[in-house]
Amino acid sequence: MDKDINITLRVWRQRGPKEKGHFETYQLKNISQSSSFLEMLDVLNEQLVAEGKEPVFFDHDCREGICGMCSLYINGHPHGPDEGVTTCQLHMRRFNDGDTITVEPWRAGGFPVIRDLAVDRSAFDKIMQAGGFVSVNTGGAPDANAIPVPKEIADLAMDAAACIGCGACVAACKNGSAMLFVAAKVSQLALLPQGKAEAARRVKAMLNTMDALGFGGCTNTQACEKECPKGISVANIARLNREYLKAKLKD
């Protein structure tokens, strides 16, 4: 049965990307275990505003586990201690009365801190833009069987397309690698006929952009898959490597 708990928060505060950050400690009382982690942060900010202090900056939007903006590093885990959920889906029942909870932003060269817990993830947008377009016919609706795709392949493509681009894979990686994100975006098209025409150009452009933006290399520790809220498989990284090798052989 859920109850109210008292907790200690250690929150990273940083006024800007070029400022030196530090942890600040806050005490919160009577936090309902039924509340979400972001609702708890809302309570903290209401308390800070009432005290005439600056609220804590953090990203959020849908609060339904769809957009991935609620990217926080909680007690050493991207999105917190629960598996398969984003921060907004994490509830305070996961914590106990008297717990100390440490909250940090993503730690990666490709994601500079904007302020406090909010980071700039526009690097992912640039990688996606580098991927470009797909060539498809835009006339009348094609016959359902005109481009047959086996169910197993369609399922793999849909699993890869489930990536929400939150960046948990980067935050979990000791090298700050974006390989799982790029692999998911490459795989969802590489597996389908519609993505074949630009496949070689796409994979080279996305990987080159990833490297240029300061993300590290993959060393296959699989921490990215473990912390991914959508369970994107590292098998996609193997597919990405194969697609890149095929593209370079064509060159």
Task: Tell me the whole-structure pTM to 2 decimals.
Answer: 0.92
CA-CA distance, 61 to 63, in Å (whole number)? 6
What is the chain's pLDDT, residue by residue, as a tens digit (251 residues)?
A: 789 999 999 999 999 999 999 999 999 999 999 999 999 999 999 999 999 999 999 999 999 999 999 999 999 999 999 999 999 999 999 999 999 999 999 999 999 999 999 999 999 999 999 998 887 777 777 676 677 889 999 999 999 999 999 999 999 999 999 999 999 999 999 999 889 889 999 999 999 999 999 999 999 999 999 999 999 999 999 999 999 999 999 88
Please report the beta strands in the chain, taking only residues with DSSP state E, as ranges in sequence order. 4-13, 22-32, 73-74, 77-78, 100-104, 113-115, 118-119
CA-CA distance, 216 to 176, in Å (whole number)? 5
pLDDT score at 135: 78
CB-CB neighbours of 140 under 10 Å = 6
CA-CA distance, 123 to 128, in Å (whole number)? 9
Evaluated on CA atoms 10, 175, 172, 114, the torsion sign reads positive
pLDDT score at 139: 75
Residue 51: φ, ψ to 5°: -90, 5
pLDDT score at 43: 98
Q: Which CATH superfamily hosts domain 121-250?
A: Alpha-helical ferredoxin (1.10.1060.10)
Report whether 251 contacts 214 (CB < 8 A).
no
pLDDT score at 1: 72
Residue carrying the six token digits 């993505």: 195
Q: Is 72 exposed, middle or buried (0-12, 13-18, 19+ CB in 10 A)?
A: buried
CA-CA distance, 249 to 251, in Å (whole number)? 5
Q: Is 90 exposed, middle or buried (0-12, 13-18, 19+ CB in 10 A)?
A: buried
**What secondary structure does DSSP assign to 57-90, as a single string?**
P---S-SSSSS-----EETTEET-SSSS--GGG-
* Domain parsing of the chain, residue ranges: 4-104, 121-250
Domain 4-104 coded CATH 3.40.50.720: no
CA-CA distance, 214 to 221, in Å (whole number)? 19
Residue 25: φ, ψ to 5°: -110, 135
pLDDT score at 144: 65
End-to-end Cα separation, the chain, in angstroms: 62
Residue 153: φ, ψ to 5°: -70, -40
